[in-house]
Structures are given as C-alpha cells and as structure tokens.
C-alpha cells in the first residue's frame, strides 16, 4: 500500500511500445530480450487485454508485469452502421475522451467486396482549425499513442472479418487529427500495423494538411507508406481563407511545393492531393487551372471529394455541373483525377464530419 512517503509509481503502458522497445523493456527488468518479442505477439497479434492471458510467460513474470506495467486499451462505446454498410465506431480512451473510426466497404458491381478501408483518428480533436471541418471546430485535446491508433485498426479488422468474411485491405489516416503533428506515434503505429496485421505499407496512406517540415522528415526517414495532402485550394489567398495553417510562410504553398519536391526527389514517390469541392469557393474554372499548376510540382494525382456539409460552417457542396467542368479542365491539362463520393453520410461518418463531444 503506498504511503504519503512512497507515492505509487506510474505503470509503463506496454501498448505504446513497438517490438524493439518491448525488447528493451524486458531487458530493463532483468528478462531476456525474447520476452519482449513474446509480449509483442500477445499485445498486437493476439490482442491480449491482460497479462493473465499470456500463458507462455512464467507465472511470476506475469504477476510482476501486472504490478509494474499496464495494457492501455480503447473501449468501443457505440457503433453505427449506415445504409451503404459503412460502420462508425466511437471509442473511449483511458482519459475519458472519445475518438471515432470508420470502416468503409467498397463493393464490386456483383456485390463482392473489393476493398475494406479503415479511416483512423490520430488525435482527439485537431489544432489546425480548417474552417470546413467538424474536427477542427473541436480544437486540440490529446495525441493518441501508437497502440491506440493500432487498436482502432485491429478492432475494425475483426469487425470486417465478422461482417464481410475477410480482413481490412487499406488504412487511411484521415480521421480526427493532423497525423504529422503526432509524428512519432503515427510512424510507430504504421510499423505495428504492417508487422502485426501483415498489411503492406503501400496499403497505408497518411494524410496531412501540408506540414512542410514533417513532409521533409517523412522523406528523410524513408517512410514507406503513401502520402496524401489536403490541399482544398490552389492559391495562397484562397487556401489561407479557409485553412489557417497556410497563413505561415513555413506552411504556405511555396513551402509545401519545396517539401513535395524534396519528398519526390528523395523517395521517387508521387503524392495525392485531396481537394474537397466547396460551392462558389474553390470549384470555378480558374481554380481548376491553378490546381493543374500545383499538380505539376511533382508526379501526383488529385482526389476530388464531394463535401458533406458540417453544421456550424458556411460551406456547401459543389453541384454536378461545376464538378464535371472542373474535371474536364483537369483532364485537358493531363492531370490524373479521381472523384470520391461520400460514404456513411447518414451516420456522419463522411470526410470532415468526424467530431465528438470533448
């Protein structure tokens, strides 16, 4: 029993550590390093929620672990399924705060599942304050640990197996938060996903609002996953008006261009620009021409997204006529372009709609 002279020491959260860190943790408590690898298997591959389940660890070690360490978990507190079979889960963190995760099934014409994509959150809320985004309206509250990001994917992978008979095929970091503001944990979580769930890095996409310094760091760290950039406007004036992050010279379009070129030169990879279509804001012919110029910075493609109106904002979605004209201008300029239709709208699971009561 701790006394006022002996305050209780904080327990180590093992669910925030990756394989090499678990090996180091094992060594730090006088255990052989392979115990760390056993812990990795139990925590991430088998999803153990208690040390008692780890039956190939000696009983005295399990007891000791229960005294000095803990397994941080996220708990699903609500689940909704949309008419298009998109699923949105609400998870509670140990802090009591909540995050949302979405499983998006994509079907062939004959009804077979083509892709099962999980959209994960990397933060509670977001500090970037994009004017059209429900998460941005919440402000920033907390960074997620690598284990909390991983657990969202693992949970949705199990759900996908139950509902669709197979595991997830893609992960996108496009839920709540700016992933590159939680750089270390996001990087670690992508390694956990590839290692423990056996998902190739090319199946993972991290999306950023365009933090130039971090994009350079991704290139220097040789991050193997795909990079998407939420552009949403092709000039500084328009972008700064709706995305405060663009108002700094460290993250304006010139800085972004240099970072994207560095990224491409170093990795040889292309980038995807996400572009939400807002009526009368960024959907005109001049915008399409300016966007085509941005796309020439480096090999890339454009994903046009049909916007889902968010309560408390002035933004509405473009119409089909403007969308088609926009696409034609881009195609004429030889830009690779795809259109992403909204999914899960009836449960507020679509892009820009994720927000929970903080």
Nearer to ligand SF4, 226 or 329 (CB): 226
| Residue nearest to ligand SF4 as judged by C-beta position | 136
Token representation of residue 240: 């700064």
CB of 122 to ligand SF4, least distance (A): 9
Nearer to ligand SF4, 209 or 219 (CB): 209
CA 53 to chain CA centroid, Å, is 30
**Strand-pair category, 204-208 with 226-230:** parallel
CB of 174 to ligand SF4, least distance (A): 8
Q: How far apart are the first and last CA of the chain?
A: 34
Q: Which residues pair with 119 in a beta bridge?
A: 102, 172
Binding site for ligand SF4 (CB under 6 A): 126, 128-130, 133, 135-136, 176-178, 209, 230
- Per DSSP (E only), the strands in the chain are 12-13, 69-70, 75-81, 87-92, 98-107, 113-119, 123-125, 140-143, 170-173, 204-208, 226-230, 271-277, 300-306, 336-340
Nearer to ligand SF4, 160 or 255 (CB): 255
119 given a catalytic annotation? no
CB of 267 to ligand SF4, least distance (A): 22
Nearer to ligand SF4, 119 or 209 (CB): 209
207 contacts 183 by C-beta, under 8 angstroms: no
Q: Which of 119, 130, 276, 351 is catalytic?
A: 351
Token representation of residue 307: 């916007």
Q: Which of 100, 119, 274, 276 is catalytic?
A: 100
351 given a catalytic annotation? yes
CB of 292 to ligand SF4, least distance (A): 23
At how many degrees (to 10) do helices 212-220 and 253-267 cross?
Answer: 10
Residues with active-site annotation: 100, 351
């Amino acid at each position: 029993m701790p006394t006022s002279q002996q305050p209780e020491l904080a327990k180590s959260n093992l669910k925030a550590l990756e394989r090499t860190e678990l090996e180091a943790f094992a060594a730090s408590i006088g255990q052989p390093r392979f115990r760390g690898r056993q812990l990795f298997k139990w925590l991430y591959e088998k999803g153990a929620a208690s040390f008692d389940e780890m039956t190939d660890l000696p009983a005295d070690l399990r007891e000791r672990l229960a005294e000095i360490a803990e397994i941080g978990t996220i708990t699903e507190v609500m689940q909704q399924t949309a008419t298009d079979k998109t699923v949105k889960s609400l998870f509670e963190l140990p802090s009591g705060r909540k995050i949302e995760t979405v499983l998006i099934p994509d079907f062939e014409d004959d009804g077979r599942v083509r892709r099962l994509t999980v959209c994960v959150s990397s933060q509670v809320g977001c500090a970037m304050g994009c004017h059209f985004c429900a998460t941005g309206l919440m402000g920033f509250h907390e960074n997620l640990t690598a284990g909390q990001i991983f657990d969202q994917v693992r949970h949705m992978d199990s759900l996908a197996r139950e509902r669709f008979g197979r595991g997830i095929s893609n992960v996108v970091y496009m839920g709540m938060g700016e992933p590159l503001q939680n750089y270390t944990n996001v990087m670690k979580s992508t390694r956990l996903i590839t290692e423990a769930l056996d998902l190739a890095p090319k199946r993972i996409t991290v999306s950023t609002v365009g933090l130039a310094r971090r994009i350079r760091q991704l290139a220097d760290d040789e991050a193997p996953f795909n990079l998407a950039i939420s552009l949403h406007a092709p000039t500084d004036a328009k972008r700064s008006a709706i995305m405060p992050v663009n108002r700094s010279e460290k993250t304006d379009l010139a800085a972004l261009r240099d970072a994207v070129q560095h990224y491409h030169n170093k990795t040889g990879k292309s980038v995807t620009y996400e572009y939400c279509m807002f009526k009368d804001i960024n959907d005109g012919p001049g915008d399409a021409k300016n966007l085509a110029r941005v796309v020439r910075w480096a090999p890339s493609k454009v994903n046009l997204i049909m916007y889902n109106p968010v309560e408390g904002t002035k933004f509405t979605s473009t119409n089909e006529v403007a969308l088609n004209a926009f696409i034609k201008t881009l195609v004429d300029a030889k830009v690779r372009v795809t259109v992403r239709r909204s999914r899960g709208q009836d449960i507020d699971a679509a892009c820009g709609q994720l927000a929970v009561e903080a």
